[in-house]
Amino acid sequence: MTKLEELTALLVNEINDFNNGVDKLEKINAQLRNTKIKMDLSEFKAIIEEHQKQMLIHKNMIDAFESRFNDKINQAKIYPTWAVVAFIMAILFVFGVIIYEAI
């Protein structure tokens, strides 16, 4: 009988420990259900705002470069003016000499 009593006592203790564990898990589960997780986005907002400022600066720099580049392209000439004038004068001179020799 003593072994049966010991086993019964052990079984009762194990059942009580199991019930205590279940109660603790139910409390934790209730706390988890009531807990609301809030995300802190302030750090990300600051990083994104800083990135946007840098991107705006880069965009302005690219726009300024593009504007200068387009101005240079518009002002660019294939031949310098003095070379064109000298070429025309040379052609006129050659025609003048040919006409003078032909007369």
Residue 97 lies in domain: 39-103
Amino acid letter at 48?
I
Residues 13 and 43 in one domain: no
Residues 33 and 47 in one domain: no
CA atoms within 13 A on the CB side of 25: 6
Q: What is the pLDDT along the chain (103 residues), one digit of tens a residue?
A: 688 788 888 888 999 999 999 999 999 998 888 887 777 788 889 899 999 999 999 999 999 999 999 998 888 777 788 888 999 999 999 999 998 887 7
Residues 43 and 31 in one domain: no
Residues 80 and 96 in one domain: yes
Q: How far apart are CA 98 and CA 103, in angstroms?
A: 9
Q: Total domain count for the chain? A: 2
Residues 78 and 49 in one domain: yes
- C-alpha distances (whole Å) from 81 to each of 70, 88, 92 are 21, 11, 17
Residues 17 and 28 in one domain: yes
Residues 48 and 89 in one domain: yes
Q: How far apart are CA 18 and CA 11, in angstroms?
A: 10
Q: 0.75 exceeded by the pTM?
A: no
Residues 80 and 90 in one domain: yes
Residues 93 and 48 in one domain: yes
